[in-house]
Amino acid sequence: PTNTYDSLSGFLKKELNIDCDYSIQKMSSINYRDTKEYKENIGKVSLILTSPPYYAKEEYSQDTEQSYLHFSNYRDWLGTFLFTTFKIGYELVKDGGYCLVNISDVSIKNKNFDLELDTINVLEEIGWKYQYQVGMKMNRFIGLDAKKIVNRVFDENRETYIKVEPILIFKK
């Protein structure tokens, strides 16, 4: 496999006998309805796995499509960007399908943002049914003091803390 998507597709095929297809769109998710791919796949998708931006915490680039450049207000970001993104996902997923969301609470300039609970509320407003969450261990967390991280577990073998981020599981 040459990238994460190929690796994930290979895992799903080998372990679960699920054939995977994916695409990468270099555009804001809220504009995805404009694509031919969206129109061809309404109600046909089994699973969405995503890690949306953590509001303005993750500035990936200065690309004009980055959500943090369009929504300086957290409530507007939730109500427009996050809502629209997962509404589109809801339209694409078939009944009984799943949406897995990797998102974590963050602190930006000493202000806490409850992304986990707010994401659950937004998705439930759309119609997604929250099932449960699982913890994803992070291999490393550059530049962070492990003792100050809320979502963490202590690894007794390595005698250090390991960051854990939730994967929220929703069903349509």
State residue 31's pLDDT score. Answer: 78
pLDDT (tens digit, 9 = 90+) per residue, 151-172? 777 778 878 777 777 889 999 9
CB 116 within 8 A of CB 166: yes
The tokens for 153 are: 């577990």
The Cα 145–Cα 114 span in angstroms is 20
pLDDT at 62: 66
Point out the least confidently predicted range of 32-41, 53-62, 83-92, 125-134: 53-62
* N-to-C CA span, the chain: 30
pLDDT band at 129 (very low <50, low <70, confident <90, very high): very high
Distances (CA, A) of 12 to 26, 49, 116, 156: 24, 12, 26, 31
Give residue 50's pLDDT. 83
Q: How confident is the model at residue 135 (pLDDT cuts 50, 70, 90)?
A: confident
Phi, psi of 27 (to 5 degrees): -155, 165
Q: Are 140 and 160 in contact, with CB atoms under 8 Å apart?
A: no
Say if CB 58 and CB 25 are below 8 A apart.
no
pTM for this structure?
Answer: 0.76
User: 45 near 91, Cβ under 8 Å?
Assistant: no
**Integer angstrom CA distances of residue 95 from 39, 40, 43, 122, 129:** 17, 16, 7, 19, 11
- C-alpha angle 73-74-75 in degrees, rounded to nearest 5: 95
* Confidence at residue 83, expressed as pLDDT on a 0 to 100 scale: 94
Lowest-pLDDT choice from 16-25, 56-65, 68-77: 56-65
